[in-house]
Amino acid sequence: MDSLSPNAGSSLTDEEIVAMVRAGHVALFEVLMRRYNQRLYRIARSILHGHEEVEDVMQETYLRAYAHLGQFAGRARFSTWLTRIAVHEAATRARRAPPPAGIPLVYEVEIPGADDTPEQEVLRGEAQVLLDRAIEALPRDERAVFILREVEELDTAETAAVLAVSQEAVRTRLVRARARLRRDLYQRAGATTAAAFRLHLEICDRVVQGVLPRLLPSD
């Protein structure tokens, strides 16, 4: 019965695809996987550190989701239901073995600048490294909230549902995560608030040269 290609489902909602997969169009499940690979990767990386384990979690999440599609009742969004499976699987693995140290995380947080010069691209890359390391240093609970709220842009209610915590807990963890990131980024960059928006000498010189002649009496 699987006569539909994944391309045929690209414009369908998650729930429509789920219904069609349950009706026998199994190939359409690929649409869901490609639609949520990035999210599952990020949330698994917020809990685990090993790349192989993260991939295992992603695969196991999809396998479990497919096997239990009949239990998806539509009371929550499919994306919420799927992400909860991933969180549960990753947390279970994290409890079994502590994460190895020194493995960098890559969250691919978007930093604006599509038309950057080579120099700007270098600076963006360095900023990304600093941000990745700062996120990695967050406590796991805060890191998971930060990734879901700030990177995946879930709202407070959906984040709470995914993590099975209260909305107040989500708000508190997000506030703490943001504060830690600010402190950490300042420390890693060797910067302080006093260094923010520092005036470049070249700009300073131009301002002086533009104003001073107007103030001095002419001969």
- Is 116's pLDDT higher than 80? no
Q: 188-215 pLDDT, tens per residue?
A: 666 544 544 455 566 566 666 676 666 6
Asked if residues 60 and 158 have their Cβ atoms less than 8 Å apart, the reply is no
Q: 149-194 pLDDT, tens per residue?
A: 988 889 999 999 999 999 999 999 999 999 998 888 777 666 544 5
In the chain, residues under CATH classification 1.10.1740.10 are 1-103
Q: Which fold has domain 1-103?
A: Rna Polymerase Sigma Factor; Chain: A (1.10.1740)
In the chain, residues under CATH classification 1.10.10.10 are 109-201
Q: 9-60 pLDDT, tens per residue?
A: 678 999 999 999 999 888 899 999 999 988 888 898 888 877 778 888 889 9
| Check whether domain 109-201 has CATH 1.10.3720.10, yes or no | no
Specify the long-range contacts of residues 74-79, CB closer than 8 Å, at least 24 apart. Answer: 74/15, 76/161, 77/14, 77/158, 78/14, 78/15, 78/18, 78/32, 79/14, 79/36, 79/39
The alpha carbon of residue 113 and the mean position of all alpha carbons in its chain are separated, in whole angstroms, by: 18
pLDDT band (50, 70, 90) for residue 79:
very high
Backbone angles phi, psi at 98, to 5 degrees: -65, 150
- Is 78's pLDDT higher than 90? yes
Backbone angles phi, psi at 75, to 5 degrees: -70, -30
Asked if residues 84 and 164 have their Cβ atoms less than 8 Å apart, the reply is yes
